[in-house]
Amino acid sequence: MMTGTNIFFLAFSALIALVGLFAAAAARDSGLSIFGLGLLLFGVLFAYGVIKRIFDQAEAKRRVR
C-alpha cells in the first residue's frame, strides 16, 4: 500500500541516486567518482528496499483476510 511515508522515501532515494549520478559525472578525480557511484548504488538499493516493504505489507494484509 502506497502511504505518504513510502512515497516520501521513494522520492528521497531517487534524489540521492540523482545526486550521486551527477557527482560521478562531474568528478575530476577517482575519489569523488567512486563516492558518486556509491551514492547512486545506495539510492537504488534503498528504493528497492522501500518497494520490497510495500509488497511485504500488501502480502501481510492479504494473509490476514
| pLDDT tens per residue, range 21-30 | 999 999 999 9
Over range 24-46, report the average pLDDT.
97
Cell numbers describing residue 62: 492479504
Q: What is the pLDDT of residue 24?
A: 96
Residue 21 lies inside a defined structural domain of this protein: yes
Residue 33 lies inside a defined structural domain of this protein: yes
Over range 11-28, report the average pLDDT.
97
Q: Which residues span the domain enclosing 10?
A: 4-60
Give the DSSP letter string of the chain. ---HHHHHHHHHHHHHHHHHHHHHHH-SSHHHHHHHHHHHHHHHHHHHHHHHHHHHHHHHHHHH-
Cell numbers describing residue 28: 575530476
Residue 65 lies inside a defined structural domain of this protein: no
Q: What percent of the chain has pLDDT over 70?
A: 98
Q: What is the pLDDT of residue 41?
A: 98
Q: What is the DSSP letter of 28?
A: S
Over range 42-53, report the average pLDDT.
97
Q: Domain total for the chain?
A: 1
Q: Is the pTM of this model over 0.75?
A: yes
